[in-house]
Structure 1
């Protein structure tokens, strides 16, 4: 007997009511302010749940020492990137510092979603907005997750404590963080990164709910 809450899909996997594309689950778009610890939370999540798939970005910048093509980034020439962009092969693109192109390849995202593999894209605030717009055009389902600090003072403490920036750079990052924190209401779900273990577990529960798999 059909579920009244289940969307009706046509033969090609589209819902005429929502315009959504059928997938094994929604694309998890992860973002948050600078220094909030997104990368650390992501690393813990991947350690605990290696079955998830993290989208690998494409870029036209040169590989840095130790970076591996297809693992850290998909490295390509500018002409290759521009051709793929023109062909609609990216979910989103950006030019960073007026030089290098960056983008999220669309094909692998769609393939993993269609296979029911938990699929995550970690991206900055502007990128998350571009993904949301492009996904709406494509009929691709996304759920946006914002990683937030317990407080701005705690974010400041963490940023200063890691000691990787000059005082001037720290001040600039904190001003950027204020703008990014103001975007929190734009997101579907907010996870407060009080501890890495708890934030990673909370993120997994979001993924589990989306993909119909057991929570922690």
Structure 2
């Protein structure tokens, strides 16, 4: 069954992009939605690959023309948005669509497309997230302590919306997280075997697995 919409959200630095790339390698027929943004490219990012980079005037014209499935202002500075054409393109080619979007945008899409399969990815602990953010900042040649602290605070805020998602998984070991997400995709398609259904069901936010509860508890600590 083509045309399933998968919403993927995670705090910045959770390893979401690597995980999504691995799942797309494991599962065929998954089209990745490339978001539009008004921020400048970082590091080796290329236009039309990680994002469509555009200016504020063009983005606001697209808003006025109702061309976005969702859009949001992130950190009060830049627009991010998913074009409606991405879902149309996936459906026309017999594929499912992966939306890599923040919580603000995800909640918009959940309201518009309630049958969408929403998945929240979180790191195992805040110290792991901080390390990943620092490593990424160093790789990009930027060392901004205020920005790192802001993203850690934003992660805690985003985690408060986790219960709004259908599934949640902890991205501590890539192979395990990829297997879990693969199982969720196959279950949504009606293609999962018994073992895969058990694996997917264990990731439901209503399940409260021990691993998920431990990760959430670590973010609650001051």
TM (normalized to structure 1)? 0.71
SS of residue paired to 2:169: strand
Q: Distance in 1 between matches of 2:38 and 2:136?
A: 29
Q: Displacement of 1:169 after TM fit? A: 3.9
Q: Does 1:187 align with 2:187?
A: no
> Could you give the per-residue CA deviations for residues 136-162 of structure 1, whole angstroms, max 9, x where no partner exists?
5xxxx3111011233445445555666
Measured against aligned partners, the alpha-carbon deviations of 1:89-122 in whole angstroms (never above 9, x if no partner) come to 1101123455543211111213313543121011
- Partners of 1:153 and 1:27 in 2: CA distance: 32
Distance in 2 separating the partners of 1:91 and 1:114: 17
Higher relative contact order (CA 8 A, sep 6+): 1
1:134 corresponding residue in structure 2: 112
Gaps of 5+ in 2: 197-222
TM-score w.r.t. the length of structure 2 is 0.70
For residue 13 of structure 2, give the secondary structure of its aligned residue in structure 1: coil
SS of the aligned residue for 2:71 comes to: strand
Residue number in structure 1 paired with 2:89: 111
If each structure's helix is expressed as a fraction of its own residues, which one has the higher value?
Answer: 2
Residue correspondences, number: 190
Give the Cα–Cα distance (whole angstroms) in 2 for the partners of residues 72 and 105 of structure 1.
14
* Aligned-partner Cα distance in 1 for 2:144–2:43: 24
* Match among 57, 74, 91 for residue 35 of structure 2: 57
* Aligned counterpart, 1:211: 189
CA change 1:81–1:170 in 2 (3 A) is closer
Q: Please tell me whether residue 94 in structure 1 is matched to residue 72 in structure 2.
A: yes
Equivalent-residue separation in structure 2 for 1:76 and 1:156 (angstroms)? 29
* Cα-Cα RMSD: 3.0
Query: For 2:56 and 2:148, how far apart are their aligned partners in 1?
Result: 32
What is the CA–CA distance in structure 1 between the aligned matches of 2:46 and 2:130, rounded to whole Å?
Answer: 33
After superposition, the Cα gap between the structure-2 partners of 1:73 and 1:202, relative to the gap in structure 1 and judged at 3 Å, is same
Alignment of 1:25-174 (within 5 A): 25-49=3-27, 51-61=29-39, 67-96=45-74, 100-113=78-91, 115-135=93-113, 141-152=115-126, 154-156=128-130, 158-159=132-133, 164=138, 165-174=143-152
Q: For structure 1, which segment, 36-45 or 162-171, has the greater mean C-alpha deviation from structure 2 after superposition? A: 162-171
Change beyond 3 A, Cα 1:66–1:26:
same
Q: Distance in 1 between matches of 2:163 and 2:43?
A: 38
- Please tell me whether residue 200 in structure 1 is matched to residue 201 in structure 2: no
On the 8 A contact 2:5/2:99 being kept in 1, the answer is yes
| Largest Rg, 1 or 2 | 1
Change (3 A) 1:70 1:151: closer
